[in-house]
Chains A and B, each alone.
Chain A
Amino acid sequence: MTALLSVRDLAVRMDTAHGPLTIVDGVSFDLDSGRVFGLAGESGSGKTITALALIGLLPSGSRTGGSAMLDGRDLLAMRGAPWRRTRGREVAMVFQDPMSSLHPMLTIERQLTEHLRHHFGMSGREARERGVRLLTDVRIPDPEAAMRGYPHQFSGGMRQRIQIAMGLACEPRILVADEPTTALDVTVQAGILRLLRGLCRERDLAVMLITHDLGVLSAVADSVTVMYAGRVVETGPTATVMRQARHPYTRALVDSLPHPEAADRALVPIGGEPAGPESRPDGCAFHPRCRYAQPSCRTAVPPLVPTGDGREMACPVDPLVARMGA
């Protein structure tokens, strides 16, 4: 089965106060319909910039490299009107903070339907009916009344559902969700995640879920790609990666998750700070914080190699082997 979206060697360079920097350095992945693809990493890893590159909303002064092929069209090479037609219609994005991502002075109806009417030329009545149906799909109570409301009248969880409804309005094939639950109460997060996965299956949607929280991904993602300092360090089916993380960074991330059954054990943090793009170390970017670092890690960037069980990993040192050997 060919992937819906094939991203190859995606690179993003930006002009900053520190000079031109490479924020994203050769990232490749595939998105499949009906599956949730998780992109994990700390802040500064470049995961949001990757998403913004796909949807074409990079800040000015950015340059992209590589390709993102959707139905034979390269999203990264598209400009102007064709790109605006794709944006919102075939590729939709949901952002982190629903309070600031929704316009405070426009009604929900307006925000839900304006791109519907623009892309499809729907009449006001048709668009309104569609909007009510969308709100029902995302489980907003009393959708007709909600249409007349304004964002500040809803709770955080509701606003995020409204944002998701907005993203789904034009029935896109890809939905990118950037930290959709980070700004929400823990009790509300589970509902949103369930909703996303349900919609993914029902509509045969490709969902790209970006987060720093591996716990979130373990709950809903079918596959996980871990990024560090602008590069992919490990990728594979969620269960496998979580259970047997092989890259030292992934290993450390998984270990640092609080586990309910290990409540008596101390939390294991990852030492050091994530390196920002302006101070990226040579060679493997993780080596200053890595337990298994070797001299070669300081000079050579480890390539991403398949490990045989559907995964790929970018580390010459296999922690499982190293542990067994030590």
Chain B
Amino acid sequence: MSRGGVLSAAWRRVPGAWRQPLTIVGVVVAVSWVLIALLAPLISPFDPLSQGARLYQAPSAAHLLGTDELGRDVLSRLLWGARVSIPLAMLLVALAFTIGGTLGGLAGYLGGWVDELVMRGADFVFAVPTILLAMAVVAALGPGLFHAVLAVVLVSWPGHARVMRGLVRTAMQSDYVAVGRLLGSPTHRALAVDVLPNVAGPVVVLAALEIGNAILLLSALSFLGLGARPPAAEWGSMVSTGAQHFEAWWIGVFPGLAILTVVLAFNFLGDSLRDAFDPKTVIQARGA
């Protein structure tokens, strides 16, 4: 078989949900950034902390994205910034999902006062804007990246809780669980076997969207000086520096663009996956 034939055959095996153009773009860009985060020490042209070069250099052949106010290479700091934002965001989402998913799952499964308690808690957190709550937590605990992460986890868990609770409740009311109960198999077994595979889809969607939000929030906190501390190369704080040096626009613009592309990639991914998992977007023609 020709090489083209093998490729197109493999392409057809990929489920339709993942073949949408936006999903592909999202996956490619997101994966690229993850790779950058992993490989930054290898591909970065300069040391992000070294202040050797001339200050405020515009983008040039030597420094593709210019240098900042302390003579550091912007491109290198950009690449290393990925090592801060992306893993932290993923860790954050994993934490929020674990806490929120467990609480939400329990709420959906047990119902009653557990459900009430968890949902009221979620409502309270929703009532306060994310940044304010994060700032309050940081103010109570003290600044620093770790506290910022904690604050964002605190702000994000309700979203996961609500989704999980909804999924568990729908599954509990579904026919196959009811039939399973009738046949005598315990509910938790039915949940594990039937529910979890169906849960995977919406959870992946939410995770993708939440990673984007986490990056936005973390960089915002760092921009305000409440997260990462200098001289660490973090995108938000780089933009903040850029704000103080307007003429050297490259200092602030490129890190912001980096944030934009990463978050956009994850949002593309999450959004088109959600469309694909939602049966309502399938167009059917019915005879009557």
Q: Is A241 an interface residue (CB 8 A)?
A: no
Q: Is A48 an interface residue (CB 8 A)?
A: yes
Bound: A108/B285 CA distance, A: 32
Bound: A59/B288 CA distance, A: 12
B285 touches A14 (CB 8 A): yes
Q: Is A153 an interface residue (CB 8 A)?
A: no
Q: Pick the interface stretch among A15-23, A30-38, A140-148, A252-260.
A: A15-23
B288 touches A46 (CB 8 A): yes
Q: Is A276 an interface residue (CB 8 A)?
A: yes
Q: Is A43 an interface residue (CB 8 A)?
A: yes
For A277, what are the chain B residues with a Cβ–Cβ distance below 8 Å? 287
For B288, what are the chain A residues with a Cβ–Cβ distance below 8 Å? 43-44, 46-49
Q: Is A72 an interface residue (CB 8 A)?
A: no
Q: Is B284 an interface residue (CB 8 A)?
A: yes
Find residues 227-266 in chain A having any chain B CB closer than 8 Å to their own CB.
Answer: none
Find residues 261-288 in chain B having any chain A CB closer than 8 Å to their own CB.
Answer: 284-285, 287-288
Question: Separation in Å of the B288 CB from the closest CB of chain A?
Answer: 4
B287 touches A17 (CB 8 A): no
Question: Separation in Å of the A296 CB from the closest CB of chain B?
Answer: 27
Q: Is A61 an interface residue (CB 8 A)?
A: yes
Find residues 55-76 in chain A having any chain B CB closer than 8 Å to their own CB.
Answer: 59, 61
Bound: A46/B285 CA distance, A: 13
Bound: A23/B286 CA distance, A: 10
A44 touches B287 (CB 8 A): yes
Closest B residue by C-beta to A178:
B288
For A59, what are the chain B residues with a Cβ–Cβ distance below 8 Å? 285
Question: Separation in Å of the B274 CB from the closest CB of chain A?
Answer: 22
Question: Separation in Å of the A51 CB from the closest CB of chain B?
Answer: 9
B284 touches A46 (CB 8 A): no
Find residues 82-109 in chain B having any chain A CB closer than 8 Å to their own CB.
Answer: none
Name the contact of B285 in the complex, choosing from A17, A44, A48 (C-beta under 8 A): A17
A276 touches B285 (CB 8 A): no
Question: How many residues from A make CB contacts under 8 Å with B?
Answer: 16
For B284, what are the chain A residues with a Cβ–Cβ distance below 8 Å? 16-17
Closest B residue by C-beta to A96:
B288
Bound: A21/B284 CA distance, A: 13
For A276, what are the chain B residues with a Cβ–Cβ distance below 8 Å? 287
Bound: A23/B287 CA distance, A: 7
For B285, what are the chain A residues with a Cβ–Cβ distance below 8 Å? 14-17, 21, 59, 61
Bound: A23/B285 CA distance, A: 11
For A43, what are the chain B residues with a Cβ–Cβ distance below 8 Å? 287-288
Closest B residue by C-beta to A52:
B288
Closest A residue by C-beta to B282:
A17
Bound: A46/B288 CA distance, A: 5
For A47, what are the chain B residues with a Cβ–Cβ distance below 8 Å? 288
Question: Separation in Å of the A27 CB from the closest CB of chain B?
Answer: 14
For A23, what are the chain B residues with a Cβ–Cβ distance below 8 Å? 287
Closest B residue by C-beta to A59:
B285
Bound: A199/B287 CA distance, A: 30
Bound: A48/B286 CA distance, A: 11
Bound: A61/B286 CA distance, A: 12
Question: Separation in Å of the A72 CB from the closest CB of chain B?
Answer: 30
Question: Separation in Å of the B220 CB from the closest CB of chain A?
Answer: 39
Bound: A277/B284 CA distance, A: 14
Question: Separation in Å of the B276 CB from the closest CB of chain A?
Answer: 16
Bound: A16/B288 CA distance, A: 14
Question: Separation in Å of the B285 CB from the closest CB of chain A?
Answer: 4
Bound: A43/B287 CA distance, A: 8
Closest B residue by C-beta to A210:
B288
Question: Separation in Å of the A277 CB from the closest CB of chain B?
Answer: 5
Bound: A72/B102 CA distance, A: 69
For B287, what are the chain A residues with a Cβ–Cβ distance below 8 Å? 21, 23, 43-44, 46, 49, 276-277
Bound: A43/B284 CA distance, A: 16
Contact with B along A154-174 (1 / 0, CB 8 A): 000000000000000000000
B284, B285, B287, B288 interface centre (most CB from chain A within 10 Å): B287
Question: Separation in Å of the B255 CB from the closest CB of chain A?
Answer: 46
Bound: A17/B285 CA distance, A: 7
Closest B residue by C-beta to A46:
B287
Bound: A44/B285 CA distance, A: 12
Bound: A59/B284 CA distance, A: 11
Question: Separation in Å of the B287 CB from the closest CB of chain A?
Answer: 5
Q: Considering the complex of A and B, which 5 residue pairs feature the smallest CB-CB distances, nearest first?
A: A48-B288, A16-B285, A277-B287, A44-B287, A23-B287
Chain B residues with CB under 8 Å of chain A are 284-285, 287-288
New contact pairs (19) apart from A16-B284, A47-B288, CB-CB < 8 Å: A14-B285, A15-B285, A16-B285, A17-B284, A17-B285, A21-B285, A21-B287, A23-B287, A43-B288, A44-B287, A44-B288, A46-B287, A46-B288, A48-B288, A49-B287, A49-B288, A61-B285, A276-B287, A277-B287
23 contacts between A and B (CB under 8 A): A14-B285, A15-B285, A16-B284, A16-B285, A17-B284, A17-B285, A21-B285, A21-B287, A23-B287, A43-B287, A43-B288, A44-B287, A44-B288, A46-B287, A46-B288, A47-B288, A48-B288, A49-B287, A49-B288, A59-B285, A61-B285, A276-B287, A277-B287
